[in-house]
Amino acid sequence: MKKICTFTGAAMGEDPIYAECAYQLGQMIASRQLGLVYGGGKMGLMGRVADGVIEAGGHVTGIIPRFLDSVEIGHAGVTKLHIMDTMHQRKEMMYAESDAFIVLPGGLGTLDETMEIATWRQLGLHQKPIIVLNLNGYWQHLLDQIQHIIDAGFMHHGNVPHLEQADTLDEIADYLDCVANGSMATATVNAVTSG
Ligand code: AMP
C-alpha cells in the first residue's frame, strides 16, 4: 500500500475551510486505498485528516513522541500508533514510512517537518514528492520566500524542483489518482521553481 504523509497544524486555524479541507483530504486518501502517515494526534487539522481516513475505513499510521502523547492526545482510532522517544525519531519514521508528502496549513511544527524533508530532497537523500497545498493562498508567503531564495542565489535546483505546489484539493485528487494507479509522477502539480 502506498502511504501519503500529511504535515499540518495541531490547531484548527481560524477559517473553517481548513478543517473541511483536512477532512476531505483524509477521505480522498482512503477512497483510493492509500494509507495515511501522520503525527498521531487527534488535535487540530492533523486530527481531522486522520478522522477523514478512519471514517472512510482507511489505514492510518500515527507516529507520536512519548512526551506529546498526552498533550496532543494520541488518536485512539488509528490503525497503528507508534510512540517514539524523541521528535527526531518521530520525523525519521514518518519520512521512512511514506511515499509522498502533502502539506496543509499549519504552524512552526508543520514548517519544520516540511523544510527538513525538502532539505533532504535537495541533498539527494530521497526523491519523494512534497506537495504544498496553497489553500486560499495560505502558503503564499512561504512560496514567495522560496522564490526569493532562488532569485538571490541560495538555492540551486537546476532542473530538479524540491517542492511541488497545488492550489486546490481537486489538483490533489488528480495527484492521488496517479499515485493510486501506480505512478508517483507529479505531472498534475506544479514545481515550485523558476530558472
Ligand atoms: P504545528 O504546525 O506547530 O501546529 O505542529 C504540527 C505538528 O508538528 C504537531 O504534530 C507537532 O507535534 C509537530 N511539531 C511541533 N513543533 C515541532 C518541532 N519543533 N519539530 C518538529 N515537529 C514539531
Q: Can you list the domains of the chain with their CATH numbers?
A: 3-194 (3.40.50.450)
Q: What is the pLDDT of residues 36-45, one digit of tens each?
A: 999 999 999 9
According to DSSP, residue 182 is labeled: T
Ligand 1 within 6 A of 47 CB?
A: no
For ligand 1, is residue 152 a contact (CB within 6 Å)?
A: no
Distance (Å) from CA 133 to ligand 1 centroid:
18
CA of 41 to the centre of ligand 1 (A): 11
Protein residue whose Cα sits closest to atom 22 of ligand 1? 109
- Residue closest by Cα to atom 19 of ligand 1: 109
pLDDT tens across the length of the chain (195 residues): 999 999 999 999 999 999 999 999 999 999 999 999 999 999 999 999 999 999 999 999 999 999 887 777 888 899 999 999 999 999 999 999 999 999 999 999 999 999 999 999 988 899 999 999 999 999 999 999 998 988 898 887 665 568 999 999 999 999 999 999 988 766 667 777 544
DSSP 69-126: IIIIIB-TT-SEEEEESSHHHHHHHHHHH-SEEEE-S--HHHHHHHHHHHHHHHTTS-
Query: So what's the pLDDT on residue 74?
Result: 81
Please state the pTM of the whole predicted model. Answer: 0.94
Query: Would you mind telling me the total number of residues written for the chain in this entry?
Result: 195
Cα–ligand 1 centroid distance for 109 (angstroms): 3
